[in-house]
Structure 1
Amino acid sequence: MNLDFTEKYSLENDFVLLRPLEPSDFDLLLEYAENEAEIWSYNFGGPAGKEGLQKYLDNAIAQRTHGNEYPFIVFDKATQKYVGSTRFYAIYPNNKTLEIGYTWYGKQYQGSGINKNCKYLLLEFAFGQLQMERVGFRANSLNNRSIAAMKSIGCIEEGILRNFATDAKGNRMDAIVLSIIRNEWFDTVKQNLKDKIAK
């Protein structure tokens, strides 16, 4: 199965719902854009401020329209609130690889289990439905919280892309690359992640 960019995929479990990001989601995410700009300090192009959020939404949806990326908005069932966003990108069906990224959550939801639930749903869809062989992840090499979160779900560090991009202040940054491959997911990572969620 290939990812159909015209399809409205919704991924959910008892804790979270991921549905396609839409232009009308502006108001649902505005509080984070206006009040928590530091969430995106490690990377360029985060939705900080009203203008930043509008550009972020416009770009994310344009990327889906062009068949490049598939962005989701994240709904926390416990609080009944929309709490962030994530997406599939760098999608190469012929190679059976994609990456998960552009992930962020409001500060009070970080470390709450939201991320593990979202990653489980995304990985299960990528390896199960889309039959991917590798799912990659990247982060600013200084973003220790994000790196720790990726390793905690079972990602393996592959290396550093030196001078790869810019952060929110325009400074050059190195990017760390991590991944999970198909046999790792089905052999150990899936069950380990499921067990962590159950706790």
Structure 2
Amino acid sequence: MSRWIEPVTLQGEHVRLVPLTAEHEAALAAAARDGELWKLWYTFVPSPDKTRAYIDTALDMRDRLGAHPFAVIDAKTGDIVGSTRYFNVDEANRRLEIGHTWYAKRVQKTALNTEAKLLLLAHAFDKLDAIAVEFRTHFMNHASRTAIARLGAKQDGILRNHQVGRDGVLRDTVVFSIIRSEWPAVRANLNYRLDR
């Protein structure tokens, strides 16, 4: 059966995105330890002992829902430094979301993240012919909200009491998107930032 999003590796100068597999478990656990990312209450990064369950869930989303999870590799060192995913795939309407993104602390706010987003967006708009790409984040995750806006995404709105967090706290979700007509300007912005 043909799928809209087939397994793909996306390669740049700073980052390589490869299809996530169970073999990435130990390296992902090590990446999460860099900054103890699972302790952030407003986002979800697996603790080292829950990395396998995280991967299993991502692969289940791939198989049942057409998602495409990636392991994020630092192209300079070859180290796995995080994960990201195409998900909430709506093939009929050519929409998808980029999310479940997290990086080891040492590569946050670097060219690696900028280039990863450029590769994901280019594949979505140029290869998959997406009409819109969405991003969502916790209202309290101010760093993520700033980073998404810096990409050139526009805030669509806030879904109030959208989800129940693992600690039982209700999450307000901020929704952003980039639509096809905005993609050339977003691409130019990301290339400019990479060149600097």
- TM class, shorter-length: over 0.9
Quick one: distance in 2 between partners of 1:69 and 1:190? 23
5 Å matches for 1:12-51? 12-34=11-33, 36-38=36-38, 40-44=40-44, 46-50=45-49
Contact map agreement 1:40 1:168 (CA 8 A) in 2:
no
Please give the per-residue CA displacement for 1:121-180, whole angstroms capped at 9, x wherever unaligned.
000000000000100000001100001111111110111000011334231110000000
Secondary structure at 1:66 match in 2: helix
Gaps of 5+ in 1: none
Quick one: distance in 1 between partners of 2:29 and 2:160? 33
Q: Say whether 1:167 aligns with 2:168.
A: no
Secondary structure at 2:4 match in 1: coil
Gaps of 5+ in 2: none
Quick one: distance in 1 between partners of 2:112 and 2:28? 16
Runs of 4+ in 1 over 4 A off after TM superposition: none
Contact map agreement 1:40 1:48 (CA 8 A) in 2:
no
Quick one: distance in 2 between partners of 1:168 and 1:116? 29
Please give the per-residue CA displacement for 1:90-148, whole angstroms capped at 9, x wherever unaligned.
11111111110000000111111221111000000000000001000000011000011
Q: Which moved more, 1:22-31 or 1:167-176?
A: 167-176
Amino acid at match of 1:79: T
5 Å matches for 1:141-160? 141-160=139-158
Contact map agreement 2:164 2:170 (CA 8 A) in 1:
yes
Distance 1:87 1:108, change over 3 A: same
Secondary structure at 1:120 match in 2: helix
Aligned residues: 194
**Identical aligned pairs, as a percentage?**
35
Report the TM-score, using the length of structure 2 for normalisation. 0.92
5 Å matches for 1:1-199? 3-4=4-5, 7-34=6-33, 36-38=36-38, 40-44=40-44, 46-50=45-49, 52-186=50-184, 188-199=185-196
Quick one: distance in 2 between partners of 1:161 and 1:117? 28
Query: CA offset at residue 198 of structure 1?
Result: 1.1
Q: Which moved more, 1:68-77 or 1:173-182?
A: 68-77
Contact map agreement 2:83 2:101 (CA 8 A) in 1:
yes
Query: CA offset at residue 8 of structure 1?
Result: 2.9
Contact map agreement 2:157 2:176 (CA 8 A) in 1:
yes
Amino acid at match of 2:85: R
Contact map agreement 1:156 1:178 (CA 8 A) in 2:
yes
Quick one: distance in 2 between partners of 1:9 and 1:53? 22
